[in-house]
Structures are given as C-alpha cells and as structure tokens.
Structure 1
C-alpha cells in the first residue's frame, strides 16, 4: 500500500508529538527526582565511590555532621563510665570540651581523606588547645568508622511541612560483626535540592561498638585462658622434673645430659609449640593486640630458651647457655607484663 504525502505528514507529526511529550516527561521527571532525599543519598554514595569531594560536599553539610558526631561520641563515652562519681563526670565533661576542637579536626580530615581516597587514614595529626599533638588514627579507631561497610538505604520518611527527611542507612560494623542503621537527617535547600545535615543516633552506635568490643575482649580472654591453663599444669610438672634432675647434679654425666635433652625435645618443646599454635589461631580484638603480642613473644622466647638449653646439653658451649638464659629472662619479663595487662583489661571490663 502506497501512503499519500498527506498521510505521511500526519504520521510524522504524530511521531514528533510523541517524542516531544516523551522528552518533556523525562525532563520533568528528572527535575523532580534530583530534588528528592533519595537522589541526594544516591549522589552521596556515588561521590564516595568516585572520590568526588566537591560532589560530596554539595550534598553533605560536613561541618554540622561532624560536629554532631563529635558531640554524640563524647556524650556516649562519658555516659559509659558507670562507676564514676558525678564530680568525676563533670571533670570529664570539661576535658571533653577541651578536646572537642581537635576531635572535630581529626574527623573532618579523616572524612575528607576517606572520600578522596577510600581510606580513613587521616593525613596528619592535629593539636589540642594546649598545642599537644592528637593521634588522629587513634581517634578514628575509637569511632568505629574505619570498619564500616555500607549496605544500602533502609527507609526514607519525608516531613514536607518542615522540609526535612529522616533516612535509615544500613551498615555493618565489621570489627564487632554487628549491623547498625544510622538515622540521618536531610534538609530541603532553597534551590529545592536536599542535603544531609546530621547523623542523629551516633551515640547509640558508639554504645553498640563499646558493648561489642567488650564482649569480643571477654571472649578473647576466656579462650586464651583455656589455651594457657590447659597446658600450664602439664608444662609446669615437666619443668619441675627437669629442674629436679638438674639439682641432683646429673650434668656431669653424658648419658644423663642426653636424657635431659631428649625430655626437652620430646615433651616440653612440643607442648610449648602447641600453646604457640593455639594462640596464633585465636581471633584477637584490637584492644587486646598488645597483650596477645606479649603472650606470643613470651612463648617464643621460652621456646628459644629450651632449644638453646637442649643444644647446650650437647655442645657444652657457654655462649649457647647464655643465649638460653637471656631468652628465659625475656620470657619471664613478658609473662609478667602480660599478667599485669590482663589484670588491667579485666578491671576495665568490670
């Protein structure tokens, strides 16, 4: 069928109208969508993913967010000190006021670095009001932000009358393996766009973090106590037998020396290495890393002591014996420090 020129013209006009309506609809929809809280949250996410700090600052009021987070964090830390008398809490509030500015600076720096690079590592330490340096990494560690994974938006509730919106941002805190939904407030701007202005429940997040860390440390202490106590009795008995043999003056007899060497290599060293292996398999919370390293190094030094002592029983080289003695001194020192640190950590948990 051959269409007339007039019919072709009508079809063309109809198609053109459809295209124009479609384009107009898309433009209208886009203009509406970009001026919604949902779009703002999506834009913030994309700014973080693409490390676009300018776009991030366009949709986040960093100053008010960081100031609110800092206040929440300080309030939560002070509130967690249940055993402190009121006058002590008042003193802590005064200290908190003193450290607020450097805390804000550290968080600002950390957030800026995170958006630009994907890492929370602050570019440099900052100073308090007295000029003392503040460890920014330590501060960021305390916030728990360095171990967060973003999971998505949980909800968005808009209050059109007040021009505000509440959004739930789902995350996972990996250090304590716990989910958390941050309650974020957005405000409509004069140009119709929306901006994130605060995180309203950061104090709840800090409490969750503190409770999770406490539970993690308690679990660590219980597991390592089991590891150490299970082997300590048997190890102590074998060491006592060895020391008893030495007191009997058997070192002058070659056969006795070789028997002692065999006892060390077949009984004591395997037990110590089993303790070492068991300790290495334990999951260690950040707060217990120093304690755990002390325990491992003490175990390592004790192993070195018995290895050198067994070697000395055979080669009778005084240098080997000195090395053995030095390692035992190191082991005893580190075991003592580990015990003190364990008591201190247990005291903080109570």
Structure 2
C-alpha cells in the first residue's frame, strides 16, 4: 500500500518569518521600481544639474542641458524683452536694432555658451566679450546674468513649483526666491525626454520672468522711496505742466515743457533733477527724458521752469511726440533729486540696497 506523506504545517514562528520575507521582497521590488521611476523624471534631471553646478562637472551638466538650444532661444527672448519693454519708448530704431542683433546672433550665442560653461566650471562668468574673439562694432554687451537681473540680487532655489508633461515634453516651473524682493518668481524651463533621462532644451518664459522682476523691483523701490517722496511733496508742488511744439524752420524742431512749481520749503532750492514722461492716448510711452534745472527759490515762491527737447526727425518716437496734439498727451514730471542751498539734498533710490 502506498504511504501518504504527512502534511507539515508551518509553526507560528515560521509563518511570521515567511510573511517578513514576502514583505521584504515587496519592499525591495517597490524600492527598485520607485528608484527606476525617480531617475526617469524631470525632477531627477534637475537634481543632477544642480549637483553638476555644485561640483563644477561640465560633462554631466551638458548631458542634462542642451546649451546650444538654450542659448539660442535665450538670446531671442532677451532681445524681445528689452526692445518691447513697456516702460521704454518704442520706435523703428528698435526694429533696426533687433535686425542688427539678429545679424550678430552667432557671436552673442558663442558669448553666452562660453559664459555658461565658465559659470559651471569656475563658479563665475567670463567677461561679456569672449577672450581672443573680435567684438563687432557697436555690439551690445551681453551677459547671462541678465537672466537673473543683477539689480535684484541672486535668488535662492526653492524647488519645483509644477511639472506639466505632454508626451516627451515637460514644462517645469522653478521657484526662485529673491531676498531683496521678499518674493518668489517662477522661471519655466522646457524639457524633452531622451533615452532614459530628461534634458533642458529651453528657458521658456524669459520676457514674463524679467517683466515680473521689474514689476516687483518697482514696487519695492516705491516702498523704500515713500518717505522721501513725502518730504519732496512738502518741499514743492507741481501746479501744471504742458507740452509746446516749437518749429524754427523745416529742419529745426523742438518741444518744450513749461512747468509751474510752487516752493513750500523754508530752505532755498538750487537744483531740480526730474524724469519727464509722456504717453499718448493709447498709453504708449513716447518720451522718457531725464532733465535738470538750476534754480534759486524763495519759500512760498511760484515760478515756471521750462525744460526742452530737440526733435530728431530720423527717430520715429520723436516725430510721434512732436506731431501728437498736446491735449492728446499725458505728461508726468517725476522728481529724482532736489538740492538745497545748505548742501543737503533729497534723492530717490534708483536701485535696491
């Protein structure tokens, strides 16, 4: 007769060990899958870029950043952001400048690439011009530091704000904190998926990024300057300002800005420095001109200071200014500094401390 083998049931201790072994296998598998998933994410590539910069590892940096693509698109966006800035006068000269810059774009791109590589390898950028490379006449100075806007200081990286994937393309928001502004600003990079990793191909929001920095800087400066502005308001009052076109002949044209001012301070004023702004009915800036005037005032006196500007017929914004009816212009006089006879002065801060 065949003998039936006896079924051996595991003891409670053996059951616990078996469960622990299964759990360990699951944990190891999960960890492996989790790690595999992590190294194939945009966030992992960004971490590698951060480490490459920290360790001055250019080879790794160039694996995860397409420097050629990034610099080419960066130049285009910086050109557009500077030429089309809302707080600057726009004219046809801007289009000519844009055409000229596009003509020398290869040189600018080479400068940018050299500076990025120097930043990674040495921790600092090269001078705007590349050593040993002839610089084109009237070529604009270029520095990759423009992307951060040195006037507001160096930001602290606060992590990834968002990741939006669309197939093999991902838009990633990098949260940058600017201590001088006490604010976060998001710089967006566009990444593409290659063979097992993600690579930065473009910084995609440079104009909006720089515009936001400028907006925050202007707001912060306004806060800093508010006490000085209050003092200036107690020193003088602008009663009226208007523009008067003046044409001596067909070639000589100018505009003047008669400005009636009342002096309220008990101290004599010797000099005004102002910024004259003029906008048309569409809100477009047609004039942004610094001006100064030496004066000799008595407390309570009201006088008229007249600033003037020669019109260049070859500059479209000058022609627009001259040909626009004065009643269709909005003119603003912004004081920059006031000097007194006793040697003291009131002066607005033009950059953040």
TM range (shorter): 0.5 to 0.7
Q: How many residues align?
A: 242
- Report whether the alignment pairs 1:155 with 2:162: yes
Q: Secondary structure at the match of 2:110?
A: helix
User: Structure with the greater relative contact order (CA < 8 A, sep ≥ 6): 1 or 2?
Assistant: 2
Cα separation, 2, equivalents of 1:92 and 1:226: 40
Q: Is structure 2 residue 116 aligned with structure 1 residue 111?
A: yes
1:222-241 matches, cutoff 5 A = 230=235, 234=266, 236=268
Q: Deviation of residue 186 (structure 1)? A: 1.3
Counterparts of 1:104 and 1:174 in 2: how far apart (Å)?
30
CA 1:219–1:16 in structure 2 vs 1: closer, same or farther (change >3 Å)? closer
Change in Cα spacing, 1:102 to 1:212, as seen in structure 2 (3 Å) is farther
State the match for 1:188 in structure 2. 193
Note if contact 1:101-1:128 (Cα within 8 Å) is conserved in structure 2: no
- For 1:108 and 1:14, the matched residues in 2 are separated by 57
Q: In structure 2, what is the Cα distance between the partners aligned to 1:187 and 1:219?
A: 42
Q: Deviations over 1:206-243 (max 9, x none)?
A: 22234445566777777667668959955549xx9xxx
Alpha-carbon RMSD: 4.3
Q: Quote how far apart the aligned CAs of 1:108 are.
A: 2.4
Instruction: Name stretches of at least 5 consecutive residues in structure 1 with no aligned partner.
Output: 1-5, 241-270, 290-350
Once the 2 structures are TM-superposed, how far is the Cα of residue 34 of structure 1 from its aligned partner?
Answer: 0.4
Query: Shift of residue 15 of structure 1?
Result: 6.2
1:202 aligns with 2:206: yes
Q: Which residue of 2 aligns with 1:57?
A: 62
List per-residue Cα deviations over 1:177-198 (Å, max 9, x = no partner): 54321222111113x2111111
Specify whether residues 216 and 26 from structure 1 end up closer, same or farther in structure 2 by C-alpha distance, changes over 3 A only: closer
Deviations 1:92-126 (A, max 9, x none): 2212213433432333233333333444x325623
Point out where structure 2 has 5 or more consecutive residues left out of the alignment.
1-9, 237-262, 270-295, 297-341
| Matches of 1:26 and 1:219, distance apart in 2 | 51
Deviation at 1:272, TM superposition (A): 4.3
CA distance in 2: counterparts of 1:9 and 1:218, whole angstroms: 74
Taking the aligned partners of 1:55 and 1:67, their CA distance within structure 2 comes to: 20
Give the match's secondary structure for 2:78.
helix
Is 1:73–2:78 an aligned residue pair? yes
- Would you tell me which structure has more strand in proportion to its own residues? 2
1:193-272 equivalence runs, <5 A: 193-213=197-217, 230=235, 234=266, 236=268, 272=343
- 1:166 aligned to 160, 163, 171, which one? 171
Matches within 5 A, 1:1-350: 19-80=24-85, 83-86=89-92, 88-119=93-124, 121-122=125-126, 125-126=129-130, 130=136, 135-136=141-142, 140-141=145-146, 144=149, 147-160=154-167, 163-174=168-179, 177-190=182-195, 192-213=196-217, 230=235, 234=266, 236=268, 272=343, 275=345, 283-285=349-351
> Going by fraction, where is helix more abundant, 1 or 2?
1
Residue 41 of structure 1: how far off its partner (Å) = 2.2
What TM-score results when the alignment is normalised by the length of structure 2? Answer: 0.53
Distance in structure 2 (CA, Å) of the matches to 1:155 and 1:15:
38
CA contact (8 A) 2:159 2:175 kept: yes
How far apart are 1:67 and its partner, in Å?
A: 1.6
Shift of the alpha carbon at 1:47?
Answer: 2.8
Aligned partners of 1:47 and 1:53 also within 8 Å:
yes
C-alpha contact (below 8 Å) 1:220/1:284 kept by paired residues: no
- CA contact 1:102–1:128 (8 Å) conserved in 2: no
